[in-house]
Structure 1
Amino acid sequence: MAPKPRRETKSLVNAGKGMSTTTIVNAAALQDHLVRSLNLSMPVRKKNPVKAQARTAQERLHSGTEYRKVWVCDSCTLENEDESARCSACGSFKPNNRRIKLTLAQKKGLVQAPPPKLSQNQWEECEAKAEERGDTAHPCSICREPFGLDAKVILSCSHMFHHNCLASFERFLRTNQRVCPLCRKQNYQKRLTKQGERIYRMQCAVKVQACVRRFLARKRYPQLLNEFYKSGRGSPSRRKTFYATKLSSISSRIVRAIDAREDSIDALLAEFDKSMSLSRQVLNGESSTTTASSCDGLMTVDKWHEALRKAVLRDEKECPICINLIDSATKPVTLLSCSHVLHTDCLDAFESFNIYEIHLCPVCRSHYDARVLAHDMTFALRPSSSNMLHPTSRPTQS
């Protein structure tokens, strides 16, 4: 059996070596692509220690080889420092212009390379798709909050998110490849957008107009209802209820007007008392301090109710003069302007033995005005204005 030629054997071996080398390179490229995409940690290569000469900042400045780290704003073309995340002039966010490094598998065509940057027309088509799908009317898919007027970004897959939400999502990703939170599209492109702000402003305007129209309708409703029942239409029971409510409101307004008039009358009588005391001071030559201290207190209806409230909260059980129980059902009770409660007979006896011209409270030693209370601890009916010498129901000094 004749041996094979040696030259043919060498050519076959070389051909097999070439084919195996290409397969090994492709397999290594695919493994490298998977390792980079899954962010797997590889063993650290041992490098020979090289003594690097330290260069000072002044040397680097004069060398002329260092470049300034700045970025240019897309809106106003202002140069900003690389550390700043927003433009100092217009407030736009820093554009993401990082150049994606292709892996060996992508360069050899084994894995699809990332798409090129979108043009302006393509971005407008993405915004049109998002508006047609209704993304602007729905909340953000990450935080589930409405977009409003906050900063928004639109991806190349036409999905919209809050800028802060997407930045937080990208920060906590475990892979180097950016993935859309909704459709999982890899290596997406993003861009700031103002899509939906006009619709949001229109919705706010509609809400404001609805509130104004609701207020005007409620304001006109009683007048229209009055005209409706005045013409004789409607249910008799509802007409009766309407006029009863209207009569009650009129009565309440009359009561408030009477209370206001009583306050004005009390103020007028107090002014008369003050004028009389000033005249007595001029005629008798008294000091101004005594007269001022006796005439500066003006007790109105609100002040009397406040004094009664304080007395009820204090809940005094005994009269400070006779040290007996205070029972308005058996003995009449008098309320002082200083909110102390005493028996009416005890107070009369105390004032009859008083040696001072001005009556002082037996508890707090302050000038007071007195008013008789009813048996249910409410104010008794006040006398007519013709018999009143003081804004209280009983005079405290002659």
Structure 2
Amino acid sequence: MAMRKSLTTKGNKKLVIASVAFQDHITRTLLHLNVSLSDPLLTCKRKAPRNPQARERVEGKGLQYGQEEGEYVLDAAPPPLTLAQKMGLVASPAGRLTEDEWTQVKARSVQQGESAQPCAICKEEFCLQPQVLLSCSHVFHRACLQAFEMFSGRKCCPMCRREQYETRVIHDAACLFRHQSATRIQACWRGYVARKWYRNTRKTICPKDKRLRRKFFEAKLQELNDSFVRYCHTDTEAFLSDIDRSLSSSRRVFQQLERKHVPEPQENDWDRIQSQVIHRGVWDCPICLTALYSPSLTTQAGGSKQQRRRTVLLSCSHLFHQLCLEAFEAFTVDSRPTCPLCRSVYHKKLI
């Protein structure tokens, strides 16, 4: 009988301890410590952290410019184990993730491109707003996740529905946004430099196209005329010197417009030009109006053998006496004379 009583008392003690452990576990976990049991409305009373750094983190204040952005776990430290958990009556909560495990979670998030995509809750870009990484490798706005937890009434991931996750503040989206902004600024600056260089080039270098070249010289002449109009009322001597310079520059401009680069004809081209002369049938010098003589054109010209003045064939298919053409070139003002008949730049050949 005594043994039965001792066993009964021991079983009653274990039962009492187990019931006390369960009651303590229910009180500490299900009802939470931050709930006042005396308040009929069961209002939640959250204590503000005493640490200033922790308060800044809770309020979501960003770091100042030039400081390194550090990552930290947002969740508070887990509460101590209850008596029921220590006795093994209730399963203990999972341990917190280590730094290596957080590194693996972040690597999986980067591989999935979570920070490069909009927030899954508000569907907006992260930009420089606070960003959080969950232990399930999903990324959200910090304010969006807090609002989701408040309205859902439980701690559950909006994407994979995982419960009892851990939250870590990261800055991947902010770094990506700064990099994209710097790239856009550099692209705009390079475009501005290229456009500025092109405008300066258009003002200084003459284009190769005929129409653009004409417009280029017209703009230059207009600038000269405008400068004359601006300075004509100040100094007469300077105005006259400007007129002289403008006349010389205008003369050079018109010479560039009128003259064309004529390549020197080859042997085949001279044969073709000579055939054009024979086909035309004109055998008088346009300067002295006397008959021409050439050993290769004796049969066609019909000139007498007494006239031995050499004949010059121009690239424009006109014939002249050599002495007549040299006299004409001596009295010409231009550095490169033109044909007396067609006024074109020429190359000449003795025949």
Q: Is the TM-score greater than 0.5?
A: no
What TM-score, normalized to structure 2?
Answer: 0.40
Quick check: which has more Rg, 1 or 2? 2
What TM-score, normalized to structure 1?
Answer: 0.36
Which protein has greater RCO, CA pairs closer than 8 Å, 6+ apart? Answer: 2
